[in-house]
Amino acid sequence: MKRVDFGELRRKLDDAITYADFDLARQLAQQGLNSAQSQELMGEIMYFKAQQEIIDGNHEEAVNSLDLAVQYNPSDGAAYNDRALCLIELRENEKQVLADFDKGIAVEPDYAGVYHNKGWYLNKLGRHQEAIPYFEKTLELEPGRAVTYENLGNAYLNLGKKQKAVEAFQKAVQCLNPSCSDIKDQIETQIKILNQ
């Protein structure tokens, strides 16, 4: 079996889940699992098993697999990140969720996804000003990440900073994959409303 670049595969899988392309996400998770099994990489095996559970909405099972993933690979920031996201789905306390995001940042400080998701969660909690530096760090690591610009725009909008929100939304549109026309239309409509 051909060796797989797990980092690239994880990025593609994250994008597929973010943009709700669950057929592609299932394929990528299975590809990762098959490759990890062929190489007997237990941390990766548990990570990709968790991804399959996340895609199917089985967050408790995903947490169990992610617990094992971080036992096998304590420096897997994405596993801590995904465990935090599952805990959000399971309505666990915010302290534990934030602790997992922080652990993910500590062990893998160059992983943009964990900064984005911590910012998204802080914004969801109404802590908009606190969210902004996490979105900025994400964009420092991954400048073309459309979903982060969109979330940054939402944070600015929640803070009443309309012009900064419009600028962030415009950057989101510029960075969006052309296949995401529905999302692009939604953001462009929001920009028009804000510019009235």
For each of the domains in the chain, give its residue range(s) and CATH number, in order of start: 1-109 (1.25.40.10), 131-196 (1.25.40.10)
In this prediction, what percent of the chain has a pLDDT beyond 70? Answer: 99
At 45, list the tokens. 């095996």
Structure pTM?
0.90
Q: Given the structure tokens 């929001």, which residue do they identify? A: 190
* Mean residue pLDDT across the chain: 93
Q: What is the CA radius of gyration of the chain?
A: 17
Give pLDDT, residue 19.
Answer: 79
**94-107 and 112-124 are packed helices; what angle lies between their axes, rounded to 10 degrees?**
160
Q: Is pLDDT at 6 greater than 80 in this prediction?
A: yes
What's CA 68's distance to the chain center, in Å? 20
The SS3 assignment for 68 reads: helix
In this prediction, residue 2 has a pLDDT band, given cuts at 50, 70 and 90, of low
Q: CA-CA distance, 173 to 108, in Å (whole number)?
A: 28
**The pLDDT value given to residue 179:** 81
Q: Where does residue 170 rank: exposed (0-12), middle (13-18), buried (19+ CB within 10 A)?
A: middle
The rounded distance, in Å, linking the Cα atoms of 175 and 122 is 23
Q: What is the mean pLDDT of residues 152-170?
A: 96
The amino acid present at 153, given as its one-letter code, is G
Predicted confidence band at 160 (pLDDT cuts at 50, 70, 90)? very high
What confidence tier does 173 reach under pLDDT thresholds 50, 70, 90? very high
Task: Tell me how far apart the alpha carbons of residues 125 and 118 are, in angstroms, rounded to a whole number.
Answer: 10
**Token pair listed for 69:** 């993933």
Per-residue confidence (pLDDT) for residue 66, from 0 to 100: 97
Strand, helix or coil for residue 133:
helix
Q: What is the pLDDT of residues 66-90, one digit of tens each?
A: 999 999 999 999 999 999 999 999 9
Length of the chain, in residues: 196
Where is average pLDDT lowest: 77-81, 112-116, 179-183, 184-188? 179-183
Angle, vertex CA 5, rays to CA 85 and CA 25, nearest 5: 45
Residue 177: partners with Cβ closer than 8 Å, 6 or more residues away? 19, 146
148 near 139, Cβ under 8 Å?
yes
CB 29 within 8 A of CB 56: no
